[in-house]
Structure 1
C-alpha cells in the first residue's frame, strides 16, 4: 500500500520538474519561485519537523538547530572550495598558453555557449556544476526519507499513513521543481538535470519499499532534516534569490518568491 501511494509522489515530482523546464523564457520568475519554495520548505516544513524529532539540547541549543547551522556553513564552505579549485584550474590553463586572441575567444565563450545560455544565463561561469549536482543529490536524499516516512506511517495505521502521504505528495511538486532548477542553475546539461529529476521522483517509491526492512531512529532523522535545511537555506539565500534579481530586479520576481513561500505555508496548513 505504501509503495502504491508513493507513486503519487513520483508523478507529482515529475510534474514539478516538467513545469520548471517549460518556463525557461521566464528564468528570473522560475528562480524567484524556486527561492520562495525552498525558503518555505526549510522554515515551515523541515525545521519544525527537525525540532520535533531531535529536540534534545547540546550546550543549551537544540541539536537540530546546531545541525541546521552546520549545514549552512557546510554548503558555504563547499562552494568556496569548489570556486577556489575552479579559479586555480583557470590560472593553470592561462599559464599554459591559453591567452591572446585564441585564448580570449575560449574565455569569452566559457559559460556563454550552449550550456550557459537560455535557462542558465551568462552569469554562471562563477558557478560550479558540482554544487548543483550535490544540492540535487541532497534533494533526492530528502525524497528518499519522505518515502521512508510514508512507509513507517502506514505501519502505525492507515489514517496516519494517508495524512503523511498527502503531505509528501503535496510538497513533492516543489521538490521536483527545485531539483531541476538547482541542477540547471549551476550550468549542468539538461540530460543531467533530467536524470536528477528522475532520481528524485523514484526516491519516495524506493524509500517506501525500503521502510518494510529498516527503521530509522527519530533523532537521526531529525538531525538529517536540520542539516539538510541549512544547506537549502544557504542555496536559496546566497545563490538562487540573488541570481533571480540580478538581471531582472522586477516586482514580479519578488511576488513569485512570496508566492512560493505562501504555497508551502498553505500545503503545511492543509496537510498538517
Structure 2
C-alpha cells in the first residue's frame, strides 16, 4: 500500500519536471493548491496525530511540538546552506553567482556541480517524503492518505525545481532528466523501506512532528511565495484555501 501510494508522488514529480520544460501560466494555481494542501495536512492531521502518538513532555512542552519546531528550523537551515553554496563557489571562482528565489534564477557564472548538489539534496528530501508516507500508513489509512496528499502536491514543485536547478547551472539536459527520474523514484524507495520495520509509537509521533515542521516551512517559505511571485491573483489564494479545506474534508471522512 505504501509503495502504491508513493507512485502518485513519482508521477507528480515527473509532471513537475515536464512543466519546467514547458512552463504555462497555470503553474501558480497548482502551487497555490499545493501550499493549501500542505498547510491543511500539517495543522489538521499531522500535528494532532504527532501529539497523540509522542505522548511525552520535555521541560513542560510536548516532545512532538519541540520536534515540530526543530523540523521547521532544520528545513530553514538546509535551505540557507543551499542558497549560500552558489555564492561560496562563485566567489572561489570569481564568477559571482547570485542566489535566486527557490534556487531557480539565472546565474552569471555556471558551476554545474552546484546544480547537481542541490538536485541531489532534493532527491534525499524526496526519499524522506516516502518514509513519511509509509510511517503515516502505520498510524492508519486516513493518516496515510492525508500525508500522501501533501507529499504528492508538493512533489510537483520538487520535480519542477530539480529539473530547473540542474539545468540553470549549465548541466546538460540528459543530466537534468536523470536527476528528475532519481527524484521521482526516491519517495517510492523511501516508502518501500518502511515495509521492513515498524516504527514505535513515541518515535513515530516525534518523526511526524519533525516532518510537519519541515513541511510547514516548505509551504510557507517556498511553495506559497513562489505561487504568488509572478501571479498575485485572487484565484491563487482561492486555490490555497480550497487545498486546506479539502484536507479538512478528508480528515473528517477518515474520522
1:232 equivalent in alignment to 2:215: yes
1:241 is matched with 224
* Larger Cα-atom Rg: 1
Unaligned runs of 5+ in 1: 100-106, 112-119, 154-163
Mapped contact 2:42–2:212 kept (Cα < 8 A): yes
Distance, in Å, in 2 between the alignment partners of 1:37 and 1:62 is: 25
How do residues 190-269 of structure 1 correspond to structure 2 at under 5 angstroms? 190-207=177-194, 209-210=195-196, 214-269=197-252
Distance, in Å, in 2 between the alignment partners of 1:129 and 1:205 is: 22
Deviation at 1:206, TM superposition (A): 4.5
Deviation at 1:13, TM superposition (A): 3.9
1:81 equivalent in alignment to 2:81: yes
Q: 4+ runs of 1 displaced by more than 6 Å?
A: none
Distance, in Å, in 2 between the alignment partners of 1:13 and 1:130 is: 17
TM-score, normalising length: structure 2: 0.76
1:143 equivalent in alignment to 2:133: yes
Deviation at 1:72, TM superposition (A): 0.8
Shift of the 190–249 alpha-carbon distance from structure 1 to 2, 3 Å rule, reads farther
1:9 corresponds, among 5, 9, 12, to 5
Distance, in Å, in 1 between the alignment partners of 2:103 and 2:86 is: 19
Deviation at 1:229, TM superposition (A): 0.9
Mapped contact 2:6–2:188 kept (Cα < 8 A): yes
1:182 is matched with 158
Shift of the 174–62 alpha-carbon distance from structure 1 to 2, 3 Å rule, reads closer
Deviation at 1:224, TM superposition (A): 0.7
1:156 is matched with none
Mapped contact 2:29–2:239 kept (Cα < 8 A): yes
Deviation at 1:50, TM superposition (A): 0.6
